[in-house]
C-alpha cells in the first residue's frame, strides 16, 4: 500500500482572497471537503440548499451558520453539527484574523 499521508493544517494558500475548497476524498455516496475561511461569509443572497446531508466540524478557528428559520449557530474548534438535506443555511461569519478550517462530510 502506498502511504498518502497529509495534514488538514498544511498546504493553506497564502492568498485567501476567496474561500478555499478542497475535496479530500469522495465516492458515489460521500464527499469529504476541507474548507478554509478567513473572514469569509456566504454570498449575501441565496442559501445553501443541498440534496445531501452535511456533517461539519470546525478544526481550527470559529464560524457562524445562519439557518433560514433564523437560528444562528456558532462553532468553535472541536464543535460539529449535522445539517439535514435541504436545510437552508449559510456561513454568516468567520473569524477575520484566523484561518478557520472546516471539515465537511456530505452524505446521502
Q: What are the pLDDT digits (tens) for 1-56?
A: 678 899 999 999 999 999 999 999 999 999 999 999 999 999 989 999 999 999 99
CA distance 99 to 24: 18
This prediction's pTM: 0.92
Query: In this predicted model, what pLDDT tens digit does every residue of 75-95 receive, in sequence order?
Result: 999 999 999 999 999 999 999
- Looking only at the bridges linking them, the beta strands covering 20-26 and 30-37 are antiparallel
pLDDT at 44: 85
7: β partners: none
Which residue, among 64, 57, 58, 62, has the nearest Cα to 41 in the 3D structure? 64
CA distance 18 to 37: 8
Query: In this predicted model, what pLDDT tens digit does every residue of 22-37 receive, in sequence order?
Result: 999 999 999 999 999 9
Q: What percent of the chain has pLDDT over 70?
A: 99
Q: Hey, how many other C-beta atoms are within 10 angstroms of the C-beta on 83?
A: 20
Amino acid at each position: 500500500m502506498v502511504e498518502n499521508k497529509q495534514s488538514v493544517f498544511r498546504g493553506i494558500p497564502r492568498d485567501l482572497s476567496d474561500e478555499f475548497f478542497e475535496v479530500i476524498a469522495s465516492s458515489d455516496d460521500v464527499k469529504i471537503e476541507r474548507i478554509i475561511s478567513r473572514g469569509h461569509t456566504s454570498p449575501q443572497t441565496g442559501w445553501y440548499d443541498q440534496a445531501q446531508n452535511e456533517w461539519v466540524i470546525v478544526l481550527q478557528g470559529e464560524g457562524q451558520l445562519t439557518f433560514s428559520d433564523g437560528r444562528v449557530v456558532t462553532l468553535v474548534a472541536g464543535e460539529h453539527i449535522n445539517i439535514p438535506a435541504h436545510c437552508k443555511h449559510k456561513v454568516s461569519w468567520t473569524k477575520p484574523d484566523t484561518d478557520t478550517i472546516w471539515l465537511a462530510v456530505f452524505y446521502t
